[in-house]
Amino acid sequence: MAATLTRIALRASPSRLSATQHSTFAARQASPIFRRFLATPRGEQPRLRIGSEAPNFQAKTTNGDIDFHQWLDNKWAILFSHPADFTPVCTTELGAFAKLKDEFERRGVQMIGLSANDLTSHSSWVNDINDLSQTTLTFPIIADASRSIAWLYDMISTPDLEKLSREGGVAFTIRSVFIIDPAKKIRLTMMYPASTGRNTSEVLRVVDALQMADGRGVATPVDWGVGEDVIVPAAVSTEEARRKFGEGNVREFRPYLRFTKV
Q: CB of 33 within 8 A of CB of 147?
A: yes
N-to-C CA span, the chain: 44
Of residues 146 and 169, which shows the higher confidence score?
146
* Domains of the chain: residue spans and CATH: 46-198 (3.40.30.10), 217-260 (3.30.1020.10)
CA 156 to chain centre: 12
- Among 228, 222, 225, 218, which residue's Cα sits nearest to residue 258? 218
Q: Residue 87 CB: number of other CB atoms within 10 A?
A: 15
- SS3 of 110, please? strand
Instruction: Report the distance separating Cα 170 and Cα 16, nearest Å.
Output: 28
Radius of gyration of the chain (CA): 22
Active site residue 54: no
Beta-strand relationship, 186-192 and 175-180:
antiparallel
Letter for the amino acid at 110? Q
Residue 262 has pLDDT above 60, yes or no: yes
Instruction: Report the distance separating Cα 106 and Cα 93, nearest Å.
Output: 20
Give residue 157's pLDDT.
78
Question: Model pTM?
Answer: 0.80
- Among 177, 199, 216, which residue's Cα sits nearest to residue 78? 177
Secondary-structure percent of the chain, ordered helix, strand, coil, rounded to 5: 40, 20, 35
User: What are 213-238's pLDDT values in tens digits?
Assistant: 999 999 999 999 999 999 999 999 99
Letter for the amino acid at 193? P
User: What are 32-47's pLDDT values in tens digits?
Assistant: 433 333 333 334 667 8
Q: Provide the angle, in degrees to the nearest 10, between the axes of the packed helices 158-167 and 19-30.
A: 110
Q: What is the DSSP letter of 236?
A: S
Phi, psi dihedrals of residue 87, rounded to the nearest 5°? -115, 145
Q: CB of 173 within 8 A of CB of 116?
A: yes
Instruction: Report the distance separating Cα 185 and Cα 193, nearest Å.
Output: 24
Q: How confident is the model at residue 25 (pLDDT cuts 50, 70, 90)?
A: very low
User: What are 100-123's pLDDT values in tens digits?
Assistant: 999 999 999 999 999 988 898 998
Selected catalytic residue, list 5, 9, 90, 141: 90
- Among 37, 66, 72, which residue's Cα sits nearest to residue 54? 72
- SS3 of 78, please? strand
Instruction: Report the distance separating Cα 95 and Cα 260, nearest Å.
Output: 37
Share of the chain above pLDDT 70, in %: 80
Give residue 20's pLDDT.
40
Q: Span 11-28, mean pLDDT?
A: 38
User: What are 165-192's pLDDT values in tens digits?
Assistant: 777 666 677 899 999 999 999 999 999 9
